[in-house]
Amino acid sequence: MILCPLADFPRYASLHPAFPRIAEALARLDLDTLPEGLTELAGGDLFVLASPVARTRPAAEAQLEVHRRFVDVQVILRGTDRMAWAPLAACRDEAQAYDPERDIAFFHDAPAACVDVPAGHLAVFFPEDAHAPLIGGGETVHKLVFKARVG
């Protein structure tokens, strides 16, 4: 997991082949005007999901999720997104088996840590990072999630 201000993301460009393209998109795109939903940046290998009105939910309703085929780069534009994290290797209590079509599995395990990700910051979750975003009391969060194919 990586947590940093948007301006610091280029420091991590060498960690994934798509990260330079994401850094470029963060610098040149008007992030507030991306259309809601999915925008392809490099076909099925890199895309962004825009959620201008995501609502937080109680921690008890937030299950840890994991992805095998994509890295998540979650960018907070407005509001604060409280995110839970746990190493996938420690997750044992599967809530929903891996769905390859949706590239997601869910776990009931307790998180190892929670962090508030404020506007102007991002969090990166690799396939070994179980995570649960949008924890809170019903607040609105405007966010983008860049999805970069692994390998």
Residues 54-99 pLDDT 10s: 999 999 999 999 999 999 999 999 999 999 999 999 999 999 999 9
Q: 31, 27, 2, 26: which is closest to 15 by C-alpha? A: 2
What is the per-residue pLDDT for 136?
A: 96
For domain 2-149, the CATH architecture is Sandwich (2.60)
The answer, as to whether pTM is greater than 0.85, is yes
Query: Which tokens is 52 given?
Result: 């201008």
pLDDT-derived band at 24, boundaries 50, 70, 90: very high
> Looking at this protein, which amino acid is placed at residue 68?
R
CA 14 to chain CA centroid, Å, is: 19
When the pLDDT of each residue in the chain is averaged and rounded to a whole number, the result is 95
More confident residue, 33 or 104: 104
On the question of pLDDT at 118 being above 90, the answer is yes
What is the per-residue pLDDT for 33?
A: 85
What is the per-residue pLDDT for 151?
A: 76
Q: Residues in the chain, how many?
A: 151
**Sequence-ordered list of residues with C-beta below 8 angstroms from that of 28, at least 6 positions apart, any chain:** none
